[in-house]
Homo-oligomer: A and B are copies of this chain.
């Protein structure tokens, strides 16, 4: 048997990875400590030292999520895998679910829930707006859903959703409360137990400062009870929480092989969590808030307007700026990237074409970066205004 297809030339070139300042909605830059950890030697997925790192991550996540849930772990998927895991473990075909939609994440949650066979009811708000406990209560009484999905940090619109009070209503109505904190965890308070959240998940590549590839998640005992009471098998083996929980040592049984976890991603997340724990949660919350305020001030000085009008609903990690009509913001992003290797993003989903997005998360959330991105933004806007034909 002969090789018929020839080797590609592209792989004989050296790998090219430039250093950029990632001031978009994530991933964010990782710290030197995290990047150094990524290059450590490979460990087997059942080796004692790998298990120890998993245990340390579990403790770190229980702290960051502020939960005592034994079933707290990181899923071997991007952040969106946390959404899949929540849905595929809880939903049985025919179950009614209620999804709060005010941006792309609610839309995606609806899509996913539909694929797992749910009857999907929508609690809808315009992009940029938030939900109230009263609105939830009316809908929950009307639809009697088995789960309610809410996004704390709507990174497509820059909206921060307050969470307190929703869990009470859900628990009173026998509905599980699922919260997406991909873009918010570590930058704003998340009190999983206090707020009666049944499944909370996040992503490794935002405030936690690790590379993408892992989705931290936590299941309450109420969520697990729904899983244990299923009549049909959990839809997806890869995210089966009964198997994942065993592998992560959450049930006090002997650990069984489930999948080959990526030790390298574990190293990065472990170091990112260690840095966050070292700083302390209140300090991190304050740092993100201070940076966001400095950014708002600078944006105001440049003469731009924030997309989210109510300042209590602004997500400190992702700031959305209304695109001025006279400027093509794609040109702004292009100039910032080509001239300075600085990422300034456009909108996503419902905010596409309407906003520019600036991210401040984890390692990147400091005053120096705020000032840099403001300088670059101002210069890029000037350039985009006066050199339309050149771009």
Contacts and interface: CB of A to CB of B under 8 A. Distances in A.
Interface stretch (A38-46, A299-307, A321-329): A38-46
Interface in A283-307: none
Nearest to A115: B233
Copies of this chain in the oligomer: 2
A20 B48 CA distance: 12
Interface in A20-76: 20, 22, 24, 26-30, 35-45, 47, 49, 52-53, 55-56, 59-60, 62-63, 66-68, 76
A238 interface: yes
A205 B19 CA distance: 26
Contacts of A191: 1, 4
Contacts of A203: 260
A209 to B, nearest CB: 10
Interface stretch (A77-85, A142-150, A172-180, A221-229): A77-85
A268 B3 CA distance: 25
A8 B68 CA distance: 12
Contacts of A59: 8, 10-11
A17 interface: yes
A114 interface: yes
Contact of A78 (B53, B205, B234, B261): B261
A77 B76 contact: yes
Interface stretch (A124-132, A273-281, A376-384): A273-281
A17 to B, nearest CB: 4
A265 interface: yes
Contacts of A116: 235
Contacts of A167: none
Q: How large is the interface on A (under 10, 10 to 19, 20 to 34, 35 or more residues)?
A: 35 or more
A237 interface: yes
Interface of A: 1, 3-8, 10-12, 15-20, 22, 24, 26-30, 35-45, 47, 49, 52-53, 55-56, 59-60, 62-63, 66-68, 76-81, 84, 88, 108, 111-112, 114-116, 189, 191, 193-194, 203, 205, 211-213, 233-238, 257, 259-265, 267-268, 270-271, 273-274, 277-278, 280-282, 343, 348
14 contacts: A11-B56, A11-B59, A11-B270, A16-B52, A17-B267, A22-B42, A22-B44, A26-B260, A42-B211, A80-B238, A115-B233, A115-B237, A211-B264, A213-B264
Given A77-B77, A80-B260, 12 more contacts: A8-B277, A11-B59, A11-B60, A27-B42, A36-B39, A77-B259, A80-B237, A84-B236, A108-B237, A213-B265, A235-B235, A236-B236
Sorted nearest first, the 9 A-B pairs with minimum C-beta distance are A213-B262, A8-B59, A39-B39, A211-B264, A17-B40, A11-B274, A38-B38, A78-B259, A212-B262
